[in-house]
A and B are shown apart, each in its own frame.
Chain A
Amino acid sequence: MISRPMQITIALLVAAILGMGFYALKLKQKVETLHATSDNRPAAPPVTGDLQTVTLWVAHDDGTLHQQQMQLAMPNEPAARAMRVLQALVQIYTGKDSPHPLGAGSDIEDVYLVNGTTAVVDLNQTLADTHPSGIMVEQLTIVSLIQTLTANVPNVTRVKFLVGGKERDTLAGHEDLKMTYDVSTVSQVAQELQ
């Protein structure tokens, strides 16, 4: 027969073990949430340049595109300008109350200009891997990126997309990323989406 004080001690110990286990589990979940939401990428260097009003073509998941004005510090070099506006557009998509939600961590890796007329836009792997799948939703992303780029960097007539520095068949199973986009053709599609 176990004495009553011993019973109380054991009960308290069991309660303490369960409580500590629960607390440890909560702590683990908190750390995992922090990992998932924190952005470990190195901080981008400060953008130098005049504050300018730029036009972004913002996609909405009702299947429309809307032009939106924004004040941004814009560099003079064309490739850097393209990078700046595209990153601003993707930030809208990854932000709260996004009209066209993309996965957390989606970003533009780099933008190259070839002969001033062909832009090579390198999307990061997260953007493509977490992108919703469907013809319309993928087309909205690509058309909005191209329209935003060409609205702020004139003379670009062709745009090619890479993902993580490599060619990829489609964005998320539908939109063709093998082709080089003709800006005037994309512009006609953008008019229909407005």
Chain B
Amino acid sequence: MSSISVQITFRCRDFVARRFRIGRRRASRTRLIAGTVAVLAFLLIPGHARAADQPHLAIFAQQINYLVNVQLRDGSEYVGLLDVLDPLGQVATHINGKKWTLDFSSSGNRVEIVCQEGKRKCSIRGADVEMAAKFVVSEGHGYVPVSALAEILPRVTNLIANLNVHGRRLLLGISGVHLSSDVLKNPSRLVLTFPSPVKPAVTNEGNTLLLTFTREPVTTTGPETTNFGDPLITSGRFMVVNGAALYLVTATAPVVTMFSEGNRVITISAPPAAVPATPAQPPVTAPVQAQPVPAPTQPVPQKPAAPAFIVAIDAAHGGTETGALLSPTLAEKDVTLALARRIARELQSKGISVYMVRAGDTQMTLDQRASAANTAHAALYIAIHAAAQGHGVRLYTAMLPPSMAVPTHHAFVPWETAQSAWLDLSATAAGSIADECNRRNIPVRAMPAAVRPLNNIEGPAIALEVAPPSDTLEDINSATYQQSIASAVAAGITAIRPKLEAAR
């Protein structure tokens, strides 16, 4: 599915004729049919489904959740050690012949990992770790089998790692969100309880219902499949697939979900029957004493709890799409990733959770980036760019006509103008970061720009373009300069956090 690419090309006249209806229809029938099929395929496959085809490992840590691309080599699944460890602390790598070394430091804890290309062992803190397959070096990056992370990460981070190799999910230093299920009678309903709010995607198909948890590390201690023996709810099945927790409910009739208790309880039951028309009440001739109202037996839908405050950071470009070539040896994609990681660490140090849209050197489409940020329900989305022209920092908001609509996450909005209702809050966020840049004497400008995927983000969204601090282009990669910008961004976001939270 990932190889599906929709290429619809129009010669200029065809384009004008079709888009603006000036009556020129010269496209051949074959092209028309092929185009229609391609568009239908594109529309029928949602963005997140296309993105989901890419195998990845989902890592859930205390303050950060991120995805790492998984590569298949010689029948084993591999991940890049740099991609796994970089969001967790400071990382530096060195290569000397076949010897590959990674220095990891976090909160004063410094660890060296030494691996040999082609060997099944790596040395951590002087002790060997056996791996199921050989260590691989490709383009300077070191790759280990996914299964080896269960041994490597606890030694490096001193945290307990709970790895589901087949489900491609790793819980690091956390126990997960425990799911417990219970079937109640009269009427039949399945009640799923969680210790903290959850927000799964719900998919109904016939008599089955699928809950997909991508943001919460949902776990269960019960059997994978539970047969309830209920006339309506037949069974429930828990599984972890490609980093996401899935709960499949099989019923004998269509069922619906209701969220309650601040999204901590999900009740699955038959749809409520249509309410019969209330007969007209006879005129009241005498005062009637108020009777206590019995508690409703059906769970009452409540307003969903506000999702966690997460900032989505998107390092622009990646993979073969390098972005601007800032110098013969410096690609925009590398500068953006380095700065994104610094900003993430600054935010985490202020207690703000971060979602890295691109955590490694991976290629993503603009639609995939927007889908990822929207699915994460980020309180703020920041796209990071870098350019050779000018100096300092430039902050951009979407170039869209303002909308009169009230910002809300609970309505369908057009993809191309999803940002319209959020322009004011996006500009406020950009202004707050600009103030902090000014305080640190970083030259800064803020203005609208037509940069995707800002238009497609349903929430406050800005793009940050960093330029060199001086006429020396290489200074754009200076640790001091980038740290100063990261600090300004984190301070700016912290300053407007109450406004961002109020809008959720």
A-to-B contact residues, CB < 8 Å:
61-63, 109-110, 112, 114-115, 118, 120, 122, 132-137, 139, 142, 160, 162, 165-167, 169-170, 172-176, 178-179, 181-182, 184-186, 188-189, 192-193
Pairwise interchain contact B12-A110, C-beta atoms closer than 8 A: yes
Pairwise interchain contact B455-A63, C-beta atoms closer than 8 A: no
Closest to B321 in A: A173
Q: Total A-B pairs in contact (CB under 8 Å)?
A: 109
Pairwise interchain contact A112-B12, C-beta atoms closer than 8 A: yes
For the complex formed, measure the closest distance between the CB of B473 and the CB atoms of chain A, giving whole angstroms. 12
B450 within 8 A of A: yes
> Which residues of chain B are near A133, meaning CB under 8 Å?
323-325, 332, 387
> Which residues of chain B are near A136, meaning CB under 8 Å?
387, 389-390, 394, 465, 467
Pairwise interchain contact A176-B450, C-beta atoms closer than 8 A: yes
> Which residues of chain A are near B385, meaning CB under 8 Å?
134-135, 174
B20 within 8 A of A: yes
For the complex formed, measure the closest distance between the CB of A107 and the CB atoms of chain B, giving whole angstroms. 14
Secondary structure call for the A interface:
mixed
Provide the B307-342 mask, 1 if CB < 8 A to any CB of A, else 0. Answer: 000000000010001011100000010000000000
Pairwise interchain contact B10-A165, C-beta atoms closer than 8 A: yes
Q: With A181-B450, A192-B447 given, is the CB distance from A135 to B387 under 8 Å? A: yes
> Which residues of chain B are near A62, meaning CB under 8 Å?
390
Question: Number of contacting residues on B, CB 8 A?
Answer: 40
Q: With A169-B366, A176-B455 given, is the CB distance from A135 to B396 under 8 Å? A: yes
Closest to A63 in B: B390
Pairwise interchain contact B12-A114, C-beta atoms closer than 8 A: no
Pairwise interchain contact A114-B448, C-beta atoms closer than 8 A: no
Pairwise interchain contact B399-A189, C-beta atoms closer than 8 A: yes
Identify which of B16, B366, B401 contacts A114 (C-beta below 8 A): B16
For the complex formed, measure the closest distance between the CB of B164 and the CB atoms of chain A, giving whole angstroms. 37
> Which residues of chain B are near A135, meaning CB under 8 Å?
385, 387, 394, 396, 449, 451, 463, 465
Pairwise interchain contact B15-A179, C-beta atoms closer than 8 A: no
Pairwise interchain contact A137-B450, C-beta atoms closer than 8 A: no
Closest to B365 in A: A169
For the complex formed, measure the closest distance between the CB of A73 and the CB atoms of chain B, giving whole angstroms. 25
For the complex formed, measure the closest distance between the CB of A189 and the CB atoms of chain B, giving whole angstroms. 5
Pairwise interchain contact A118-B20, C-beta atoms closer than 8 A: yes
Pairwise interchain contact A173-B323, C-beta atoms closer than 8 A: yes
B452 within 8 A of A: yes
Pairwise interchain contact A185-B399, C-beta atoms closer than 8 A: yes
For the complex formed, measure the closest distance between the CB of A155 and the CB atoms of chain B, giving whole angstroms. 15
